[in-house]
Structure 1
Amino acid sequence: MNLDGKICIITGGASGIGFEIAKKFAAAGGKVAIADINVDAAKTAAKSLGEGHLGVDMDVTEPDAVQRGVDKVIDAHGRVDVLLSNAGIQMVKRVEEFTLEEWRKVVSIHLDGAFLTSKAVLPHMYKQGSGTILYMGSVHSQEASALKAPYVAAKHGLMGLARTIAKEGGEKGVRTNVICPGFVKTPLVEKQIPEQARDLGLSEEEVVNRVMLGETVDKQFTTVEDVAHTALFLATFPSNALTGQSIVVSHGWRMD
């Protein structure tokens, strides 16, 4: 699987899953633009990948910031071949405890961010007659869990957005797919363990073994490497035979 110099934008790419995918894309010959709200972290991460990679300032909830970031990539490389919309946050509480501001923040980063970045890159992909858009969904794009209403709603929304763009962009050479990981033990997930233990009245061990890993086949967390391998497979897939789909990476938690 080789990216052959393709230009790849990864939002939220300065750390965690996004950075692991950035490393995988760079190793496969891609030129990576790491777009992150923390521009210093984005530049540091890009520098660590070697020559030819960019760190770009981008708040994915702000249309002008998204456009400026994409314009910087176009100015540097003249094209964009792969977009991975990965930026995201999590808040854990019951529906009635969420404020509207909190709801909007979670949904905006995940879903508005995917829309705005797609809107910014699609004209370039259509002009060149090719492109791949990947969304970082979740098993929660297809399932629901307690305490995560805005996250689950946003992740479900990504499926609709991906399928719509697949329909609109197919004849123009653009495909879209959604990566749906299970629980990946990043700081984002580690933070949820004590929060869910408190809200569900369970021990932290019970949260891990029953809530997070209870439906897996081997009681194992999905790894960032698992997700990165999947992203590279989708980024290098050669045709529209695989578009508008969700690829679940969850140790058997969700089976389709």
Structure 2
Amino acid sequence: MELQDRVAVVTGAGSGIGRAIALRYAREGCAVGIADLDLASATSAAAEIEAAGGRAMAVRMDVADEGAVSAGVDAIAERFGRLDVMVANAGIQIVHPVEDFPYEEFRKVVDIHLGGSFLLTKACVRHMYPQRSGALIYMGSVHSHEASALKSAYVAAKHGILGLCRTMAKEGGKHGVRSNIICPGFVRTPLVEKQIPEQARDLGISEEEVVKSVMLGRTVDGEFTTIADVADVALFLASFRSNALTGQSIVPSHGWHMG
């Protein structure tokens, strides 16, 4: 198994992409800390892993709260004896034109995505640096590289996470810790489903046109990226055999962004 005897923490792992990554890691022998603001969903994911013979621990974590992040990461490392992989996946989406974007909502998006990634990194490297190994994996987006209308907060946050990832490749290298970012195209999660009517309303077009033109118009085949696609990349980055691959952005997007 690719991650035998490794330990990972995955935020936003109670549902969606985070849950798929956690389940995939567990199938590969990894003990997984399931961190989520919704403890019930985290507990459900952990129970699914344990029912299949894996090891998991559910932790309620508000990624915008430094104390909660530090305590949660420490509890996972104490339970399983070490920490090898971090996946900073927690996120939300709020869309508005800039002129109508309430600042408190802009800050909320940035605090959860970028602030949460920073706080999780800070907590995890305290465990990784002394053991001189670890993999930091960030959940970016095609919007780490590209902009879209109505998404000023999300695009700014995802660009920021790309910068954080690259900075950690520089800082972590001397400690044996690599840092990479996954930048998916649109994945049909509840977060994306919520955006379809919102963007239709704000852009004055049909929901079908949002999907066809706004979300998938620049792909090579008009297809959504899948949760399984993203989990495959997360496994690849967590299990890579050396620190040769660091500071890199992997973009599973059906060709939406190439570079």
User: What TM-score results when the alignment is normalised by the length of structure 1?
Assistant: 0.98
Q: CA deviation at 1:52?
A: 2.0
1:49-71 residue CA offsets vs partner (Å, 9 max, x unmatched)? 11421001110000100011011
Q: CA deviation at 1:171?
A: 1.6
Specify the alignment match of 1:249 in structure 2. 252
Specify the alignment match of 2:172 in structure 1. 169
Identity %: 61
Q: Does 1:93 align with 2:86?
A: no
Q: CA deviation at 1:40?
A: 2.0
Specify the alignment match of 1:144 in structure 2. 147
Alignment of 1:15-54 (within 5 A): 15-50=15-50, 51-54=54-57
Q: Distance in 2 between matches of 1:216 and 1:66?
A: 36
1:135-194 residue CA offsets vs partner (Å, 9 max, x unmatched)? 000000000000000000000001111111110111211001010000000111011111
Letter aligned with residue 243 of structure 1: T
2:229 paired residue among 226, 235, 244: 226
Q: Distance in 2 between matches of 1:139 and 1:52?
A: 32
Q: Distance in 1 between matches of 2:41 and 2:141?
A: 25
Secondary structure of the residue aligned to 2:251 is strand
Q: Does 1:188 align with 2:187?
A: no
Which moves more between the two structures, 90-99 or 132-141?
Answer: 90-99
Q: Distance in 2 between matches of 1:85 and 1:3?
A: 18
Specify the alignment match of 2:64 in structure 1. 61
1:130 paired residue among 128, 133, 151: 133
Q: Distance in 1 between matches of 2:152 and 2:186?
A: 16
Q: Does 1:120 align with 2:134?
A: no
1:45-94 residue CA offsets vs partner (Å, 9 max, x unmatched)? 11111142100111000010001101111220121000000000001110
Q: Distance in 1 between matches of 2:75 and 2:132?
A: 21
Letter aligned with residue 8 of structure 2: C
Q: Distance in 2 between matches of 1:238 and 1:52?
A: 23
Q: Distance in 2 between matches of 1:144 and 1:40?
A: 34
Which moves more between the two structures, 145-154 or 37-46?
Answer: 37-46
Q: Is there any run of 5+ residues in structure 2 with no aligned partner, and where?
A: none
Q: Distance in 2 between matches of 1:107 and 1:41?
A: 23
Secondary structure of the residue aligned to 2:35 is strand
Q: Does 1:7 align with 2:10?
A: no
Q: Distance in 1 between matches of 2:4 and 2:154?
A: 35
Secondary structure of the residue aligned to 1:91 is coil
Q: Distance in 1 between matches of 2:105 and 2:242?
A: 39
Q: Is there any run of 5+ residues in structure 1 with no aligned partner, and where?
A: none
Letter aligned with residue 242 of structure 1: L
Contact 2:31 2:80 in 1 (8 A): no
Report runs of 4+ in structure 1 exceeding 3 Å deviation: none
Contact 2:30 2:55 in 1 (8 A): no
Q: Distance in 2 between matches of 1:78 and 1:161?
A: 27
Q: Distance in 1 between matches of 2:117 and 2:81?
A: 22
Q: CA deviation at 1:215?
A: 0.5
Q: Distance in 2 between matches of 1:96 and 1:238?
A: 47
Q: CA deviation at 1:241?
A: 1.2
User: What TM-score results when the alignment is normalised by the length of structure 2?
Assistant: 0.97
Q: Distance in 1 between matches of 2:171 and 2:190?
A: 36
Q: Distance in 2 between matches of 1:252 and 1:13?
A: 27
